[in-house]
Amino acid sequence: MNFWKNAFGGFYMIRTYEVVAGDTPCGPVTLKFIEIKGKYAGPTLVLVSGVHGDELSSIGGLYLFLDELAKLYGEDGIRGKILALPFANPLALMQRTWGFQLSGVSDVALHENLNRCFPGDPTGTFGERLAHVIFTYLLGMTPDLVIDLHCMPSSSCIIVDPIAPDAVSRHSGIVLRDITWNLAEKLGLGVVHDFPDEEYQKERLYSSLSAAFIQAGIPACTVEVPGGPVSVAESEGIVKSVIWNAVSARTLNIVPAEKELYNFPVTCPNAWLSRSELGVGKYACMPGPRAEKSGFFRPLAGLAKGFCKVRKGTLIGEILGGALEKVADVRSPVDGFLAYFSNVSMVSEGDRLCWFFVEEKK
Ligand SMILES: [Zn+2]
């Protein structure tokens, strides 16, 4: 593809690597890694997007950053290396689903979720083989920070996986939990812990990309911005600013400028809210209530944006029946912030309706 040559012509030692990750009935699946190498030695930042095929703002934001970087800096303005994998899951991206299917299976629940396949297995399922290629290739680059870019229905945050207190960084020997939280807190969004342990195990989050790097002693986090199968400008702006914060002088110091540090443009109210609301204290993601009845779920107006503070017992929505009559109230089970509502309006009994950020008392 000439796109990269045109976009970056002459600016950097930029290389792309194509790695064949596996064969399908349609032919081999290849992954394209983009490497931007500065003139001087320095840290390595890994940026991954498109692990889920219906989270397009993560990819749009990464490209916005790369484009802006090329316009602002020549190779002698850069220390170290940025390694990007914008399209981590080509199959899911082509199918515009979070997971992917390889055969005629049409049940979305049976799609393979690449973000539950790490660190991968060279002889496993297709997802595990894809994960293995991504993980081993990126681990070989000895990254100082891995950022996995995702979207969720509303609001934004940085999620850090649980890290054993005695785990140390693969490179520096520094306590991994300290170094990871220190980096994550400089990215400009509110930082939260992942789900409580039981939910974490049940959701197999230990097999996510970020968790696999944490287990290998590499600082890693997951960035969530609002979005779905259509890329939106505000979310792309948040992603771009998060990456600027990562490369800036006060974080990894890959570029000298302190561009947009911490403060996002006013055009990104979701990011601003995330930072200002979650800036103090430590929060965990907490699953919200499930639907008591099936029907049409309607969150209370004003709450659907996310980051609304709610008290335990507060009415947060209602479920309407076939004649649009109310069949159930939905109340908050905790004191905390509404993280996001599920992005479906028709719910079945037992479906999860929303998630919370809850302050940790430790
Ligand atoms: Zn995702």
The whole-number mean pLDDT for each consecutive block of 10 residues of the chain, a chain of 362 residues, reads 39 65 79 89 96 94 90 83 94 81 61 92 90 95 97 87 93 92 91 86 94 98 89 90 92 79 63 73 87 92 77 94 92 90 85 88 66
Cα(56) to ligand 1 centroid in Å equals 10
**Separation between Cα atoms, residue 280 and residue 277, nearest integer Å:** 7
Helices of type H across the chain: 3-8, 56-72, 90-95, 126-139, 176-184, 197-202, 209-215, 233-247, 269-278
**Tokens for 253?**
């110091």
Cα(239) to ligand 1 centroid in Å equals 13
- Bridge-based pairing of strands 354-359 and 336-341 is antiparallel
Cα(309) to ligand 1 centroid in Å equals 24
Q: Domain ranges in the chain? A: 3-278, 286-359
Answer for the pair 150, 242: CB distance below 8 angstroms, yes or no.
Answer: no
**Separation between Cα atoms, residue 162 and residue 177, nearest integer Å:** 8
171 φ, ψ (degrees, to nearest 5): -95, -45
Q: How many Cβ atoms sit within 10 Å of the Cβ of residue 346?
A: 9
What are the angstrom distances between the C-alpha of 305 and each of 5, 154, 311, 345? 40, 6, 17, 15
Cα(41) to ligand 1 centroid in Å equals 32
Cα(74) to ligand 1 centroid in Å equals 32
- Bridge-based pairing of strands 326-331 and 315-320 is antiparallel
What are the angstrom distances between the C-alpha of 360 and each of 103, 163, 278, 336? 44, 16, 12, 10
**Separation between Cα atoms, residue 347 and residue 362, nearest integer Å:** 35
Place of tokens 């991954």: 48
Cα(275) to ligand 1 centroid in Å equals 20
pLDDT for the residue numbered 327:
95
**Separation between Cα atoms, residue 328 and residue 292, nearest integer Å:** 7
Pick from 140, 121, 129: which is nearest to 213 by CA? 140
Cα(58) to ligand 1 centroid in Å equals 9
pLDDT for the residue numbered 174:
92
pLDDT for the residue numbered 3:
37
Cα(345) to ligand 1 centroid in Å equals 20
Does the domain at 286-359 match CATH 2.40.50.100? Answer given as yes
pTM to 2 decimal places: 0.87
Cα(151) to ligand 1 centroid in Å equals 5
Cis, bond preceding 269 (omega within 30 deg of 0): no
CATH architecture assignment, domain 3-278: 3-Layer(aba) Sandwich (3.40)
Cα(17) to ligand 1 centroid in Å equals 24
Please tell me what DSSP assigns to residue 313: T
Place of tokens 């990750």: 21
